[in-house]
């Protein structure tokens, strides 16, 4: 690479004492463009949010025949396709598989960790422009959800967003996993199931059907936390029958981008750029939520670049080339 990638260790006050006992000290990758140290001006920063089951280290994991995202970014800058920028790769993993980059009494304050701790550390270490017009949030899947959710809460921090295949329209993307989780949790509770899962994963390996259960537990931690219950979360279905519990399911729906966008229009209007995409063959049916979200925003007069492409949910890191080509020239520089 012509730029350089640094691995930092960030002690995050926002994650101290989190309920799951996850580490407050997190890895943080920082990409610095060529000439960063000698530059007199300041660079914009793009914050990349990983998806469910992802970690900060995943951005640098090699894949046969394909560049990593930092390598893709470096090549785009070297080719003059986008202007130089700083890229930030924080870690939002939890013992449940992910945080949705949300503040939760069940898992911890990951939105605060990102918007406060990570941003402050980056502005202190790199020659970044400390203003929302110089910062973008970009993510895919749960990371795309995080970009939309954190962005609507903190338009004073992040002024540009790109959401790739983001969790949206929850009745389409989450309902199938609720039934799988109900079957796995029959006769037990979330805390006991999770303790057994951790033991089994350490001694052998996770099972393929564990993903659906962890997904439901992690989403319940983010969307329907309830102190005093096992794992501090409330499931949106009844044990034994899997009947939806409307009062809990509605708490999930309140955090659905399709539902929170109409309540957050003022935040989205403050953005300098908004990019949304999804594959037409997405296995989690996320294109429908993307379309509904875009329709709502455009109906309110908010400019959105919306693209669909012929692919599924996985292995689509090449789509960052598209969002960066749109966002990067629009980011302010100092």
* Class in CATH terms, 4-169+257-330: alpha beta
Delimit the domains of the chain by residue range: 4-169+257-330, 171-254
Q: What is the pTM of this model?
A: 0.98
As a whole number of angstroms, the distance between CA 334 and CA 37 comes to 14
CA atoms within 13 A on the CB side of 58: 16
- Determine the pLDDT at residue 256: 98
Among residues of the chain, what percentage have pLDDT more than 90?
99
As a whole number of angstroms, the distance between CA 276 and CA 304 comes to 7
Task: Count the neighbouring beta carbons within 10 Å of the beta carbon of residue 201.
Answer: 12
CA atoms within 13 A on the CB side of 141: 19
- Determine the pLDDT at residue 190: 98
Contact 74, 2 (CB under 8 A): yes
- Determine the pLDDT at residue 269: 98
Among residues of the chain, what percentage have pLDDT more than 70?
100
- Determine the pLDDT at residue 57: 98
In terms of C-beta distances under 8 Å and separation of at least 24 residues, what long-range contacts does 288-292 make, across chains too?
288/169, 288/172, 289/166, 289/167, 289/168, 289/169, 289/170, 289/172, 289/173, 289/256, 289/257, 289/258, 290/163, 290/165, 290/166, 290/168, 292/168, 292/169, 292/258
> How would residue 25 be classed by pLDDT, with cut points 50, 70 and 90?
very high
- Determine the pLDDT at residue 45: 98
What is the pLDDT averaged over residues 74-91?
98
Tokens of 111: 């939105």
For 178-199, write each residue's pLDDT tens digit.
999 999 999 999 999 999 999 9
Q: What is the chain's mean pLDDT, rounded?
A: 97
Tell me the CA distances in angstroms from 117 to 85, 124, 313, one per residue in order.
Answer: 20, 11, 30
- Determine the pLDDT at residue 66: 95
């Amino acid at each position: 690479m012509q730029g350089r990638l640094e691995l930092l260790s960030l002690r995050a006050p926002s994650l101290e004492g989190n309920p799951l006992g996850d580490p407050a000290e997190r890895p943080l990758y920082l990409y610095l463009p060529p000439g960063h140290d000698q530059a007199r001006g300041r660079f914009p920063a793009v914050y990349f949010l990983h998806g469910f089951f992802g970690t900060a280290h995943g951005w640098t994991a090699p894949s046969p025949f394909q560049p990593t995202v930092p390598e893709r970014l470096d090549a785009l800058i070297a080719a003059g396709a986008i202007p130089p920028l700083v890229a930030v790769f924080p870690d939002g993993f939890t013992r449940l598989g992910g945080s949705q980059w949300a503040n939760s009494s069940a898992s911890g304050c990951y939105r605060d960790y990102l918007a406060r701790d990570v941003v402050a550390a980056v502005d202190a270490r790199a020659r970044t422009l400390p203003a929302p017009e110089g910062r973008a949030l970009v993510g895919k899947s749960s990371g795309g959800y995080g970009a939309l959710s954190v962005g609507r809460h903190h338009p004073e921090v992040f002024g540009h967003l790109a959401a790739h295949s983001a969790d949206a329209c929850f009745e389409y993307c989450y309902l199938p996993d609720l039934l799988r989780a109900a079957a796995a949790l029959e006769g037990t509770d979330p805390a006991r199931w999770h303790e057994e899962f951790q033991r089994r994963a350490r001694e052998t390996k996770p099972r393929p059907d564990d993903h659906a259960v962890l997904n439901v537990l992690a989403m319940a931690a983010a969307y329907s936390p309830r102190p005093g219950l096992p794992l501090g979360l409330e499931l949106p279905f009844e044990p034994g029958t899997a009947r939806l519990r409307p009062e809990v399911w509605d708490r999930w729906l309140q955090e659905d981008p399709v539902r929170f966008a109409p309540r957050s229009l003022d935040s989205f209007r403050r953005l300098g750029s908004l990019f949304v995409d999804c594959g037409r063959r997405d296995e989690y049916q996320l294109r429908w939520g993307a379309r509904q979200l875009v329709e709502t925003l455009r109906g309110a007069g908010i400019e959105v670049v919306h693209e669909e492409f012929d692919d599924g949910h996985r292995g689509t890191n090449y789509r960052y080339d598209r969002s960066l080509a749109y966002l990067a020239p629009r980011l302010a520089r100092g």
